[in-house]
Amino acid sequence: MRPLRSRALALALVLASGVAPRAVAQADSGSARPLFTAGDALLAGGVVIAARLIHPLDEHYRRRLQDSSTQANRKLQTLATIVRTTAAPGAYVIGASLYTAGRLSDNRKMAELGLYGTEALLVGELSATALKWTIGRARPFTGEGPNSYGFGRGFGSNSYKSFPSGHSVSAFAAAAAVTSETSRWAPNTRWIVGPVLYGGAALVGASRMYNNQHWASDVIIGAGIGTFAGLKVVRFNHSHTGNQVDRWLLSGSLVPTGDGGHALRWSVLPGSLDPRRAR
């Protein structure tokens, strides 16, 4: 039975993540591509199939990770805390820092990386929150089992906000957005940046299972939603340059002064009216 479970998990992970590099490649092909493509349907279908395969094994993986010897491992406890915190709120802190540093230094690439990564987090988490509140799946620690759903229960209690995993959404949204954006500047880095970020995102999902907060299928769906959010945000911004969000965000930079130093210049003008953006 164990080999069958292992094969099911491996197949689910392949279906859930195997199409992501292809979707990223499509997102990098320029503004001529439509926002939604056949590759998106493939990604969504793979994630749904993977979650369906994993769902009957949710309780099995919960028991394995909640084993007393596994839970007593201090290194695993520390790792789970680090990766969870890195995903939320860490991803927001990192995104805001990149955006601010990019604006202050007039580094457009850095600013866009921070901005689009943060936008992907917001899009993904809003979608996940709506599902959490509506579906009302019981978290593993409640003891109600993986088949306990209740329409609207998520509005009233955190105990019924298991589906999908919000931390997984955040981690995969950031991974997808950063991988997609950086591959536009340096396509060869996709095969370095992608595995590192997606691998880290997978650890975030595993940490949520280790902490008994989510089922395996919650993590799979969260990974899909986050990846989709990251890819769509980057593709939208590059196919709709000069959109309202980009044009009305505050901009700033360090500019040279007459005495050889630098001064902070911060503008509340729309980006499209800022003379530094017109170069």
Let me know whether 268 and 215 are in one domain: no
Let me know whether 160 and 266 are in one domain: no
Let me know whether 200 and 157 are in one domain: yes
Q: Given a cut of 60, is residue 124 above it in pLDDT?
A: yes
Tell me what the pLDDT averaged over the chain comes to.
81
User: Where residue 279 falls among pLDDT bands split at 50, 70, 90?
Assistant: very low
Let me know whether 192 and 265 are in one domain: no
Let me know whether 154 and 257 are in one domain: no
Let me know whether 132 and 266 are in one domain: no
Let me know whether 135 and 261 are in one domain: no
**What's the confidence (pLDDT) of residue 271?**
42
The total domain count for the chain is 2
Let me know whether 201 and 264 are in one domain: no
Let me know whether 64 and 191 are in one domain: yes
Is the N-terminal amide bond of 89 cis, ω within 30° of 0?
Answer: yes
Q: Copy the structure tokens of residue 169.
A: 């959404």
Q: Given a cut of 70, is residue 22 above it in pLDDT?
A: no
Other CB atoms within a 10 A radius of the CB of residue 38 amount to 8
pLDDT digit string, tens, across residues 131-185: 999 999 999 999 999 999 999 999 989 999 999 999 999 999 999 999 999 988 8
Q: Which residue has the higher pLDDT, 62 or 188?
A: 62
**What's the confidence (pLDDT) of residue 257?**
54
Supply the range of the domain harboring residue 58: 2-29+38-239
Let me know whether 223 and 271 are in one domain: no
pTM, two decimals, is 0.80
Let me know whether 169 and 275 are in one domain: no
In percent, how much of the chain has pLDDT > 70?
Answer: 74
Let me know whether 202 and 91 are in one domain: yes
